[in-house]
Amino acid sequence: MSNTNATDLVYLKPNTKIEPLCYRWWAWPHLVSPAQQAFNIVHRLIPMLRSFIANPSVHVATTRDPKFLCAPFLHLKESDVPTIRALLDKMTAECSHLIHFADDFLKFERQLLDSAKGYSLDDFYDKLPPSLAGLIELTYDLNNHPHMRLIEELLYDQALPNEAGQEFIFMNEPDNQRDFFLNTPRVDRPDRFVASIPFRDKRIDLVAASRIKPTSFADLVEAFEVDADKIEVFRSFFTESAPPRIFPNYQGDDVRLRYFGHACVLIQTADVSILVDPMVAWQSDDAAARLAFADLPDVIDYVFLTHNHQDHFCPEVMLQLRSRIGTVVVPRNNANTIADPSLKLTLRHLGFDSVQVMDPLDEIALPHGRITSLPFYGEHSDLSINSKHGMLLEIKDRRFAFLADANCTDRVLYRRLAERIGKVDALFIGMECHGAPLTWLYGVYMANAALRKDDESRRLSGSNSDRAWAVVEELGCTRVYVYAMGQEPWLKHLLGLEYSPDSIQIVESNRFVQRCRDAGFISERLYGCQEMMF
């Protein structure tokens, strides 16, 4: 370690982004878990790279139109073709085991679906290709529909290693100018720095700590093995000025709730802090981002993740909070479907040691309260995905429910919950009531292509006005907040949502908020950041 002196101490600039990458693609959760990464490489990423190499002018022309922000076109220049060709060659060479796994899985699944009609499955084990042998349990449900249960625990570091392509890229692009996560790999630029280290590496804790604590720049250079010709670029991401922080730690007698935008909510008392779905602005401003990453507390006792979508479980944010988090709380997954990877295993792969899995209505005791896991329907296109739950937080005689993207398709669920857990004081519910179709996120896992009419009908949707109102009635709420609408500028590269006043999501949420107000409740659709005291 170097000798530290006053002029050597630096802070990471608030606007510096440190993106985790998998073969230069932004590492959303399904690129961290090995089996799901394999499917996305084969059926999403490689086809896009090949399309760009074959017809770069089409991609360039299409991406000039903002309405194609989320479409499968790379937001790059024609001069980037050699770089993309090299990336494709690297992926096809280094990911051959992942490619074989995904191809063999779908081929075998199709064979199983065609041939297994209720007779014993024993003979099928002899037909498993080497890439799947010892990793798959074959089962029927009670209606004789065959399933392949992946023993996911055996994939990490053994059967399907995937750390080789993990990197971090430092860059200064404003949030609203970042490339969309699903369609554009991050390429080298003169003002970027790439660190080829795995996600679990503790050096990320060192640089993340420099967001709020002075750190020796010489130590950072040594830790990240920065070449002499890259030191000037690396230094551009740091400053000698401490970031402003707005009372991140709370010691009052009440319950302080801070809304950091989208679905990210921090609840604090003098004894405990709980952060829900961390996804924050990196730099504060006088507009929407009045609270930012630096305003999170020095110690976060619990992080509660509601489900495994990129805007609720964000590895970029989680990795930079890793050293400050006590326990991460997650729902249990359904091992019988490849579309539902284990959040616990994904987090362990990211270097988190304390992860607690909750089943519906499980509880965690807190000082002056408890956390209860609540089941919710919806937002997963009718797939059998278990890794989703809401949170009931009881703290100092206040009761909060966070239901994220719940779609109240059956209000009796909330009637039964109310009978079990009692009434709720404040409800936070998402109303993205017309989401992306099934195949946008999950099509890569499907053995047989979805019919267009089915795809259009099965969407990643939350509640509309009537369904959200049913939740309010059943849970007896008197304070109601619509959140998780994805409108904040720092969500653009993850959701690409730009609603107009006549968008159905805005119309429905306006109608719902007004209905709550007409009933005498406190209600608003949240945007940006704010603080509430209870």
- Residues of the chain with confidence (pLDDT) below 70: 1-7
The bridge status of strand 426-430 relative to strand 398-402 is parallel
The gap from C-alpha 385 to its chain's centroid, in whole angstroms, comes to 15
C-alpha distances in angstroms, 242 versus 65, 213, 214, 239, 386?
39, 8, 8, 8, 43
Written as six digits, the tokens of 262 are 């989208």
Question: What are φ and ψ of residue 319, in 5° steps?
Answer: -65, -30
pLDDT of residue 158: 85
Distant-in-sequence, close-in-space partners of 218: CB < 8 Å, separation ≥ 6: 2, 3, 4, 8
DSSP 41: I
What string of H, E and C letters represents the secondary structure of 87-149?
Answer: HHHHHHHHCHHHHHHHHHHHHHHHHHHHHCCCCCCHHHHHHCCCCCCCCEEEEECCCCCEEEE
pLDDT of residue 176: 85
Written as six digits, the tokens of 201 are 């590496």
pLDDT of residue 286: 87
Torsion of Cα atoms, 187 then 497 then 308 then 194, to 10°: 20
pLDDT of residue 3: 46
Q: Which residues of 74-96 are buried (b: 16+ CB within 10 A; e: fewer)?
A: bbbeeebeeebeebbeebeeebe
Q: For residues 250 and 260, what is the distance between their CA atoms, to the nearest angstrom?
A: 16
Q: What's 256-533's CATH class?
A: alpha beta
The bridge status of strand 17-22 relative to strand 215-216 is unpaired
| Domain chopping of the chain, boundaries | 6-94+165-239, 96-159, 256-533
In terms of DSSP H, where are the helices of 176-239?
A: 203-209, 217-223, 231-235
pLDDT of residue 377: 93
Contact 24, 186 (CB under 8 A): yes
pLDDT of residue 354: 98
What is this structure's pTM? 0.96
